[in-house]
Amino acid sequence: MQGRVLVVDDEKNITFVIQAMLERERFETLVFNRSSEALDAIASEEVDLVITDLYMPGPGGLEILEYCQQNFPQLPVVVITAFGTVEAAVSALKKGAFDFITKPFDQVELLGVVKKAVATYQQRMKEPIIFFPRQPGVTPQGGTAVQGISSIVGASSQMQDIFKIIAKIAQSPSTVLVWGESGTGKELVAYEIHRQSDRASKSFVKINCAAIPATLIESELFGYEKGAFTGAVASKPGRFELANEGTLFLDEVAEMPLEMQAKLLRVLQEQEFERVGGISTIQVDVRIITATNKDLEAEVKSGRFREDLFYRLNVVPMRLPALRDRKDDIDLLVKYFLGEFNKKLNRGMQGITPETLHVLRNYNWPGNIRQLENVLERMILMCEGSVLSAEDLPDELSAGLPQKAEEAGTEESTNLKQIVRRQTQALEKDLIEKALEETSGNVTRAAEKLGLSRKGLQLKMKELGIRREVD
C-alpha cells in the first residue's frame, strides 16, 4: 500500500473514477459522497491525504479544509475543481490547500499530485514540533510549570471540571473521596485541594493504607503511649495528631481492614480518639481526603467496606478521568514533562515529531499519567538528539506506528484496521455471492434481498471482484 487517501465528492461517478485510478496504483481509498460522513472519518481514521470537492450539500470543501487545518495541521488537502471554478480552487490554495486537481481527471496528473501530497505528509510527520526553541547564548532549559500555581496539567473539559470542583470545595471542611484508575493524579488532586484551602499553611499528612500492615495502621493513625506494646519505648503521636488543623490524606482507603474502618468512623463522627494504650481523649480538627482506585460501592456490596463509612467519606465524590478519555491533554502533558525532565535530567530536549506524538495520542495508557511520565523519561534517556522521534518509542508503543510500505502488503500484517477491513470485505463478498446464487445471478433481485440499490450492488461487486454467472 502506498498510502491511505480519503476522497469526498457528492457525485458518485467522480469518487468512482478517482477510486479506480488510485487503487490501480495500490493506494487505499476511503470514499464518501456525504461530506458530514467524511468529516467523521477524518476524525476517526488515519489517512495520509484528503481529496475533496469544493461544492457539496452540507459542509463544503473549504469547511473540510478548515477542519483539517485545525485538527490535523500536517494533513494535506487537495481540492477538486471543474473548469470554471479554478478561481475558487486558487482561493482554497491561499487558505492552505496542498494543491488542486481538475475535472476531467488525467491519470498522470492525479497520481502526480497524490504521490507528492502523500510524500509531503509522511515527511511533515517527521519534522519536529519544537516546544522549547534554543536561543543563542542561553543554556537550554525547559519548564512550563508556573511555580506556585497548580502543577496539574489539563486543558480538556474533563480536567477543567475537576479544577472547578477543587476551587469550589477547597475551603469547606467536608471529606472528599477521589476515585480514579491508577496513575490518574489522585494524590496530586488531594494535595491541590489542601493547597487551595485555608489549611494550606498547616500540614498535609498522608498515609497509604495498602502499604502498612493491618496491625500497624491503628498505631500509625492514632499514635501510641509508651509501653502500649512491646517495642513502644516512647510515646508517639499518630498521623491524626500530626495533621491537626491541616489535611489527612488516606490513600487506598479500600484496603483498610474492617476493624479499623469502625475506628476511623468514630473519629470522623466525633473528631476525637485515644492513642493506643492511652486513656486521655485527644481532640483534633482534621480535614480528611481519601483516594481509591477500587469501586468502593462494589466493596460495600460485597461486605468488604462499611456502608456507613462509605457515606461519611463520599460527601464530595471526585472522579478523575482516565488519560485515554482525555487524549486532548496528551500534547500538553508531553510538553510539560519534557520541560520537567529537562530540569531533572539536565537535558535540552526541544520537541517531538508529530508521528511520535500521534502514537502517544493513540495509545490507551492503562497506567495513565504515571505511565506517560515513565515512558517519556525512558525515551528522553534513550534519545540521542534533542527531538523525540519514533525510534525512541518503547516496544509496547511502537506497535502503533503506521506500517512501512514493504511490510504492509504481507499476510502477517497485524494492523487492526486492515484486518477488520479485510474481514468485512470477506463477509460482504460471502453475502453477495450467496444472494446472487439464490437469485440465479439476477442482480436486481439480489440487490433487493441485500437492501442495496442495483447500482450500489454493482459497485460493490466490482470493488470486491465478484462476477455474476448468469443474469
Ligand X SMILES: Nc1ncnc2c1ncn2[C@@H]1O[C@H](COP(=O)(O)OP(=O)(O)OP(=O)(O)O)[C@@H](O)[C@H]1O
**∠ at Cα 35 (33, 36), nearest 5°?**
120
- 104: preceding bond cis by omega (within 30 degrees): yes
Nearest distance from C-beta of residue 252 to Mg ion, angstroms: 7
Q: Does 238 bind ligand X (CB under 6 A)?
A: no
What values do phi and psi take at 254, rounded to 5?
A: -65, -20
Sign of the dihedral defined by the CA atoms of residues 37, 104, 49, 52, in that order:
negative
Q: Buried (b) or exposed (e) across 267-292, using 16+ Cβ within 10 A? A: beeeeebebbbbeeebebebbbbbbb
Q: Does 180 bind ligand X (CB under 6 A)?
A: yes
Closest CA to 168 of 197, 202, 147, 189: 197
Partner whose binding site includes residue 223, from Mg ion, ligand X, none (CB under 5 to 8 Å by kind): none
Nearer to ligand X, 3 or 180 (CB): 180
Q: Does 187 bind Mg ion (CB under 5 A)?
A: yes
Q: Does 373 bind Mg ion (CB under 5 A)?
A: no
User: Which residue of 60, 128, 142, 183 would you call a contact of ligand X, by CB under 6 A?
Assistant: 183
Closest CA to 169 of 206, 196, 149, 191: 196
Partner whose binding site includes residue 4, from Mg ion, ligand X, none (CB under 5 to 8 Å by kind): none
Closest residue to ligand X, judged by C-beta, is: 185
Helical segments of 101-149, H only: 107-124
Q: Are 86 and 102 in contact (CB under 8 A)?
A: yes
Q: Does 428 bind Mg ion (CB under 5 A)?
A: no
Q: If you count them, how many residues does the chain have?
A: 471
Partner whose binding site includes residue 184, from Mg ion, ligand X, none (CB under 5 to 8 Å by kind): ligand X
Q: Does 293 bind ligand X (CB under 6 A)?
A: yes
Q: Does 353 bind ligand X (CB under 6 A)?
A: no
Q: Are 285 and 244 in contact (CB under 8 A)?
A: yes
Partner whose binding site includes residue 331, from Mg ion, ligand X, none (CB under 5 to 8 Å by kind): none
User: Which residue of 52, 184, 356, 439 would you call a contact of ligand X, by CB under 6 A?
Assistant: 184
Strand boundaries in 111-171, DSSP class E: 129-130
Nearer to ligand X, 126 or 370 (CB): 370
Grid cell, residue 179, equals: 476515585
Nearer to ligand X, 187 or 463 (CB): 187
Strand 387-388 relative to strand 351-352, pairing? parallel
Partner whose binding site includes residue 153, from ligand X, Mg ion, none (CB under 5 to 8 Å by kind): ligand X
Q: Does 463 bind Mg ion (CB under 5 A)?
A: no
Nearest distance from C-beta of residue 389 to Mg ion, angstroms: 32
**Complete DSSP assignment for 333-370:** HHHHHHHHHHHHTT----EE-HHHHHHHHHS--TTHHH
Q: Does 186 bind ligand X (CB under 6 A)?
A: yes
Size of the site for ligand X (CB under 6 A): 17
Q: Does 182 bind ligand X (CB under 6 A)?
A: yes
Q: Does 377 bind ligand X (CB under 6 A)?
A: no
Nearer to ligand X, 186 or 194 (CB): 186
Which residues from 5-34 bind ligand X, rule CB under 6 A? none
- The span from the CA of 151 to the CA of 128, in Å, is 26
Nearest distance from C-beta of residue 254 to Mg ion, angstroms: 12
Q: Does 370 bind ligand X (CB under 6 A)?
A: yes
State the residues that interact with Mg ion by CB under 5 A.
186-187
Binding site for ligand X (CB under 6 A): 151-154, 180, 182-188, 293, 336, 369-370, 373
